[in-house]
Amino acid sequence: MAFALKPTPGLLHLKKHNTHSLSGFPSSEALVSTKRFTPMATLTTAPTLGLSDTFSKLKKQGKVAFIPYITAGDPDLSTTVEALKVLDSCGSDIIELGVPYSDPLADGPVIQAAATRSLARGTNFNAILSMLKEVVPQLSCPIALFTYYNPILKRGVENFMSTVKDVGIHGLVVPDVPLEETEILRREALRNKIEMVLLTTPTTPTDRMKAIVEASEGFVYLVSSVGVTGARASVSDRVPTLLREIKEATTKPVAVGFGISKPEHVKQVAGWGADGVIVGSAMVKLLGEAKSPEEGLKELENFAKSLKSALP
């Protein structure tokens, strides 16, 4: 969720993809257990809406989407199961779930540390898939998977898309792939009815921004600031201008992320006209630094409720 951006014309330009992540870890069977906590959500009876449909519903209601982010497997996958249920029960409209990566080139310190802890406990992509297959039917909001490109390449694009579709994923965010290299990803995502969200940044030239928002599905992800992100004292004052420029180019919903960590931030960004607000590092920090999983889940619940209540 948090990563470094270079002020270049590209979407997100990172170093060449490596091939040594999410491999060589224990099998998933031993990693997922939900017996430790009392379930906080019941099985849903209606099909979960996708990202676009979720925004359409909220627009009709005059509401702004609350989109929290957590890292899978931090502190462990059992806690991730419960955290997803907690966030769902607190009124999350979409949840971003980060896939931990062994070479998180662009992540800020909070999420980088979360990924390191997760991988150290043996989290791998198969374990995450097993966890999702179990918990997604119990959620009322859609899940968007946030992953670097390398785990997709390792499985093969077609196989990856069909696999995540089968466990109930509705959206996908791949931050380290520039627009020119997303064609195959977007084609396979569309084929599997997965909405691939693209990102635009404060340094993206106008013509390129227009191409990005045209290609993006689900919503447009507006990165609010340049640099390694995380909880900040204030949100960039460039956001209102960036929002206005994007909304002049598209009718698609726009969600703002990076540096949003307080109820007053959420209220401010919603007031500027954002259709959704994404909160990542502050969520991850609560879970990762709690004295126990139970304490982390309770703090997560209280924080999520405070953010949700600040939104229209």
Q: What share of the chain is helix, strand, coil (3-state, %, to 5)?
A: 45, 10, 45
**Any idea what DSSP says for residue 42?**
P
Give me the catalytic one of 96, 188, 195, 301: 96
Give me the catalytic one of 74, 76, 82, 107: 107
Round to the nearest angstrom and report the end-to-end CA distance of the chain.
24
Give CA–CA dist 273/252, Å, rounded.
Answer: 13
Asked whether the beta carbons of 257 and 221 are under 8 A apart, the reply is yes
Could you give phi then psi for residue 3, rounded to 5 degrees? -155, 165
Give yes or no: 237 in active site: no
Q: Taken in order 117, 299, 93, 201, is the CA torsion positive or negative?
A: negative
- What is the maximal distance between C-alpha atoms in the chain? 51
Give yes or no: 96 in active site: yes
Catalytic positions, please? 96, 107
